[in-house]
Chains A and B, each alone.
Chain A
Amino acid sequence: MESADLHFQRKVRWHPLEIVFWLCTLLPFLVTPNYLSLASQIAITALFALSLDLILGYAGIVSLGHAAFFGVGAYTAGLLAKHYWSEPLTGLVLAALAAGLVGYATSHIIVRFRHLALIMLTMGFGLLLHEAANSASGLTGGADGLQGFKVPAVLGFRFDMFGRSAYAYSLAVLFVCFLVARRIVHSPFGLALRGIRENALRMPAIGAPSRAHLRKAYTIAAVIAGIAGALLTQTTSTVSLETLSFGRSADVLVILILGGAGRLYGGLIGAIIYMVARDQFSGLNPQYWYFWIGLLLVTVVMFLPNGILGGFARFFPRKT
């Protein structure tokens, strides 16, 4: 009979497949050196999906406006690099702070609603920010986006045209944020979030301040999304209005559902599949590549309701 403490330790411990996964993220340096900028985009998208997983997969908050925080982070890092200084790490911190503030402010409204109203609210906030950035063209460059700045290097490594440093930087930030997210989901707070997802009605009856938990989760997710946005700005030296778009919010939701929500790795796997598929399909036929994404989404949702990773887990069950 396994002891009570072991029941929890088993879930916290690193699975060998996790180590394999992270070692594989180093492969692009060796195997596909010409695709390092794509790899960097994937790492950034994976980080964005990871942030959504914290609220959707763990706390059960469905958001169709998560790009709001990605965009706030992207513009914060861009404006900072353009007008003040170009050191990227402080840029990340300030972008995280700005996105976290917006997340905390909106969380007070978000946590009061559920279901359809919640989806509409998150979407509404996303649209509001998008149009605000569009009309404030003096600050944001409007539809033309923000350009004319360059982030030269991080910790002495120069951003080169092959994207080597860009990928190394994005991957390192992704990994650090992943460690934080992993710690969160295996903490008491992470357990409370799962409790809210499993039964929001029961939580107050065991003395849980659900709304306070949700506000915190929403703010943390906003912070990580902001970091992802800032990474995109710094590695591409532009900020486009698209960072705030509804399309980006919808894409990240698709990515997370494809990969499997509530498993941390779902967003990562989903981002790899989605971005590589987009790269390949749009090479074949640039206009109709959403057809294939649509087909993939329908197939996965029909046959693997817990996403690709959920289907995978059925074949490799953890010992219980």
Chain B
Amino acid sequence: MVAQDIALELPRGARHALIGPNGAGKTTLMNLMTGMLAPDSGQIFLDGSQITREKPDDRVKMGLARTFQINTLFPQLSALESVTLAVLEREGNAHNWWRGLPRFGAAIDEAQGILDSLKIPSKKETRELPYGQQRLLEIALALATRPKVLLLDEPAAGVPKDESAALFDAIDGLSRDLTILFIEHDMEVVFRFASRIIVMVGGRILVQGPPDEIARDERVREVYLGKARLAA
């Protein structure tokens, strides 16, 4: 997988959709942005400060969070434990080994609040949650880091269409200050949520612009044939 000649700017509060055929380099781009892959060249800025060499966990602390296309959760922790851990890490309290967890009531309550807002049962072990709720927990974990920029890698991947509505309602309900970049294949969803669309093909950005412009773009139609025409 490669990604090259990427020039991309995400204005605060914008909701960008990243689309393109399989193997276009969408997830690779997210891995580069979050530091899970190191770029051979180029620079990445967050809020004006360069983060190209920052470690993934430091980028999260600076406000750049992501979710994963394939559930990347903590199977034997409860949802509440998982999200509480993320809150404790953000607060810098996760290194504390001499105080019992019940004494971090504020962190626990905050985690419970995030889970409540997404309607995720908090006490069950993660592996016992239905798949759709595990997808929501992906988002809950990212939100617990209090991101400025949130990267969602196919948030509804694998969720049946009739259940994905709840998922996108949850995403729609996120704060408008939050900058969101999401990868999605369902064009209906893309055109409903995105204020801007970025089309990647073969590791490069083919075109980017507002939805109506993208819908009219001949090159995009060529790549997507029927799908884009339907949505337009």
Query: A residues engaging B (CB < 8 A)?
Result: 2, 4-5, 7-9, 11-12, 183-184, 186-192, 194-195, 198-199, 201-210, 212-213, 216, 220, 320
Q: Tell me if B76 is interfacial: C-beta within 8 Å of chain A.
A: yes
Residues in chain B near residue A201, CB distance under 8 A: 72
Query: B residues engaging A (CB < 8 A)?
Result: 34, 36, 55-58, 60-61, 65-66, 68, 72-78, 80-82, 84-86, 88-90, 93-102, 104-105, 108-109, 111-112, 122-123, 141-142, 144-145
CA distance in complex: A212, B97 (Å): 13
User: Which of chain B's residues has its CB closest to A207's CB?
Assistant: B60
- Least CB distance from B46 to A in Å reads 14
The verdict on A188 contacting B55 (CB below 8 Å), with A183-B97, A204-B60, A205-B66 known, is no
- Least CB distance from A55 to B in Å reads 14
Evaluate contact between A195 and B74: CB separation under 8 angstroms: yes
The verdict on A4 contacting B122 (CB below 8 Å), with A198-B75, A205-B65 known, is yes
Evaluate contact between B101 and A187: CB separation under 8 angstroms: yes
The verdict on A204 contacting B100 (CB below 8 Å), with A4-B112, A191-B84, A199-B73 known, is no
Partner of A195, one of B77, B98, B111: B77
Residues in chain A near residue B74, CB distance under 8 A: 194-195, 198-199, 202
**Can you pick out 7 interface pairs between chain A and chain B where the beta carbons lie within 8 Å of each other?**
A186-B100, A188-B104, A195-B85, A198-B75, A202-B73, A206-B142, A207-B61
Residues in chain B near residue A208, CB distance under 8 A: 57, 85, 89, 94
Partner of A202, one of B84, B102, B141: B141
Q: Which of A2, A194, A195 has the most CB of B within 10 A?
A: A195
CA distance in complex: A209, B54 (Å): 12
Given A204-B55, A207-B145, A208-B85, output 4 extra A-B contacts at Cβ < 8 Å.
Answer: A7-B108, A188-B88, A191-B84, A216-B97
- Least CB distance from A120 to B in Å reads 26
CA distance in complex: A184, B99 (Å): 8
User: Which of chain B's residues has its CB closest to A262's CB?
Assistant: B76
Evaluate contact between A213 and B34: CB separation under 8 angstroms: no
Residues in chain A near residue B97, CB distance under 8 A: 183-184, 187-190, 216, 220
Residues in chain B near residue A188, CB distance under 8 A: 85, 88, 93-97, 99, 101, 104
The verdict on A12 contacting B101 (CB below 8 Å), with A189-B96, A202-B72, A206-B60 known, is yes
Q: Which of B88, B90, B93, B99 has the most CB of A within 10 A?
A: B88
Evaluate contact between A192 and B105: CB separation under 8 angstroms: no
Residues in chain B near residue A216, CB distance under 8 A: 95, 97
Evaluate contact between A206 and B75: CB separation under 8 angstroms: no
Evaluate contact between B102 and A9: CB separation under 8 angstroms: yes
Evaluate contact between B102 and A5: CB separation under 8 angstroms: yes
Residues in chain B near residue A192, CB distance under 8 A: 85, 88-89, 94-95
Evaluate contact between B66 and A12: CB separation under 8 angstroms: no
CA distance in complex: A259, B56 (Å): 37
Evaluate contact between A187 and B34: CB separation under 8 angstroms: no
Partner of A205, one of B34, B90, B93, B101: B34
